[in-house]
Structure 1
């Protein structure tokens, strides 16, 4: 179990686990790292640790806590992959957004960091988009977010900067869905989309066979610059 912190839900009737990585000294800002369908696994922990090394307070809430608290799955293991797909199917994104909002409140009230961003992957990429539409988070980034094309009716509510990384060969987000995302989001002044020609879903994972080194480094450098500009 790598979760090291408890965060109260919005209703205050329960708690969810989270992994918190703290920087040396005063955090420059905070970043919520939103999991893929594989839970708060070693790749998500590594992303948190990298943000902490860059001076940010990094928090990864366990969004599958209602199903299996502390679950950690390996996308390169077929049994784990199938389990992850099942867990995503049972997950309620509306409840996940409330858990992310509770994490924002914990960061501002308990950790004392007011400037908060989020970065999410896969399912977390979609949740990063919804965090931008439904909360007062200061900046959001989504990598290969799924089903965003079905949620464009919420785009009018985006009040703070949002960046989305879109691999063009994503086998979970087809070209038609990508086209709808561009059509609906490109005109919005707060939103930036970056396409990654020929790359597939999961290209920026920290470890495993899905990673594309060149693409991951390019996307991550854009994310770092984005947060430096909008979070401090």
Structure 2
């Protein structure tokens, strides 16, 4: 488990946390961060994916504003900082950096070249955009915020895409959820699961809205999905 340096498509470099499987070989997953940076939550997720046999890379998507952000969801000051970074974030550049990370991971020694994307919160929206704009082999979104704003891209999804939506998500109102449901129901390679009674970030262990039963269900669905589309 180590930090690596990735070349940006438009110049400059940024870092990412890379966890490798014990076997030294396998498929890869680019993990798109929440609004708190490449913190211990994201690093733990990468370590867990590595234990499942994947090369897992979580790139620093806030590097263009402030490199090395690692904050938590535990204080008002950290939330304020996270939202400040979120507001200043360019989704276009973020997707570019994820594509650069995808290309980097495919060239890592031991990676078999089959690489998907997995994102949470902000990263959940970016995972959707990776499904519409990149050649990722599959993509998974956990409670992506703002997906409804780019549903005109849904027809561009040609590789398997899985979305987990919290029905009580304070950042994704019911009308937005319905738009997502209707648009993605028309996409053959897309599947959407809704989690009743759950708020945003229901799968973040230790978070205010963590729901173990729903998180376990979503995580098992994700594990089965990734096995089918990256390991099969």
Name the TM tier (shorter chain): over 0.9
Aligned 1:94-105 pairs, distance under 5 A:
94-105=92-103
Contact 1:46 1:206 in 2 (8 A): no
CA distance in 1, matches of 2:74, 2:185: 34
Structure 2 gaps of 5+ residues are none
Contact 2:198 2:209 in 1 (8 A): no
CA distance in 1, matches of 2:25, 2:223: 15
Report what 1:183 is aligned to. 182
Report what 1:138 is aligned to. 137
**Runs of 4 or more consecutive aligned structure 1 residues displaced over 2 Å after TM superposition:** 109-113, 206-210
Aligned 1:23-42 pairs, distance under 5 A:
23-42=21-40
CA distance in 1, matches of 2:206, 2:31: 16
Give SS of 1:4's match: strand
Contact 1:47 1:206 in 2 (8 A): no
Shift of 1:215: 1.0
Query: Which region of structure 1 is more displaced relative to structure 2, 178-187 or 23-32?
Result: 23-32
Q: How many residue pairs align between the two structures?
A: 230
Aligned 1:141-180 pairs, distance under 5 A:
141-180=140-179
Shift of 1:169: 0.2
Structure 1 gaps of 5+ residues are none
CA distance in 1, matches of 2:62, 2:190: 28
* Residue 60 to residue 216, structure 1, CA distance change in 2 (3 Å): same
CA distance in 2, matches of 1:208, 1:197: 18
Aligned 1:38-77 pairs, distance under 5 A:
38-77=36-75
Shift of 1:3: 6.4
Shift of 1:187: 1.7
Backbone CA RMSD of aligned residues: 1.2
TM-score under structure 2 length normalisation: 0.96
TM-score under structure 1 length normalisation: 0.96
CA distance in 1, matches of 2:6, 2:39: 18
Q: Deviations over 1:95-138 (max 9, x none)?
A: 00000000111111244431001110000000000000000000
Report what 2:79 is aligned to. 81
